[in-house]
Amino acid sequence: MLNKFSDEDYDKLLGLMSQEKVKKVLKKYDRDTPIPLVANLLLREPRFLHFSRFMFR
């Protein structure tokens, strides 16, 4: 999925990931519970939906 990103997409992703509210979600949930992780990330920062378009290309 990441190989489809442009430089601008990487910049957006890093900008979103550096937010304190996103870091808190990432600390609370791990990869063993992906549904709560993704759900809480989208609730806290809906702009992550921008990257869903890369999943279906």
Domain that includes residue 9, residue range: 2-54
pLDDT digits (tens, 9 = 90+) for 2-22: 778 889 999 999 999 999 999
Q: What is the pLDDT of residues 35-55, one digit of tens each?
A: 999 999 999 999 999 888 887
Domain count, the chain: 1
Residue 57 has pLDDT above 70, yes or no: no
**Residue 4 near residue 57 (C-beta atoms within 8 A):** yes
Q: How far is 38 from 32, CA to CA, in rounded Å?
A: 12
Say which residue, 29 or 52, is predicted with more confidence.
29
The pTM of this model reads 0.77
Q: Is the pLDDT of residue 24 over 80?
A: yes
**pLDDT of amino acid 55:** 78
- Tally of CB atoms within 10 A around 25: 19
